[in-house]
Amino acid sequence: MSNLLNISDFKTPAQPGTSIVSFSRQELSALMAIYATRVAQGEWRDYSITLNSRMAVFSIFRHSSDQPLYTFAKMLGLANRPNKYILFNGRKIFRSSTTIEDLVSQFHRQSLHLVSKDK
């Protein structure tokens, strides 16, 4: 018979005073709505989420083995400054804002298409 394991037993302990930056439920919903639309259109096939103490990153891929086409990053605001959101198109910064809604609406307005290097 199988033994149940608690995943928290395998996590590395966080250093005291550090926290992980993450997307809120509303932010993640907005990002997943964009992703679902483009997957349905056959443009995208994979995504990844990376979280650490400085930023949360949502990357979108055409193929699992490729570099990300687009990356939405949430940078933790320092002191009294608000969080900063950055949209990367490949490795280039496409747009930045203090709200993810601005980036999402800009993403919907602009018809962002990556030009293939193969052509």
Identify whether 71 is part of a domain: yes
CA distance 113 to 116: 9
Identify whether 31 is part of a domain: yes
Residue 37's domain comprises 19-109
Identify whether 3 is part of a domain: no
Whole-prediction pTM value?
0.76
Identify whether 78 is part of a domain: yes
Provide the pLDDT confidence category of residue 13 given band limits of 50, 70 and 90: low
Count up the domains in the chain and report the number.
Answer: 1
Asked whether the predicted pLDDT for residue 68 surpasses 80, the reply is yes
Identify whether 75 is part of a domain: yes
- Residue with the bigger pLDDT between 61 and 13: it is 61
pLDDT of residue 23: 95
Identify whether 13 is part of a domain: no
Q: What percentage of the chain carries pLDDT values higher than 90? A: 49
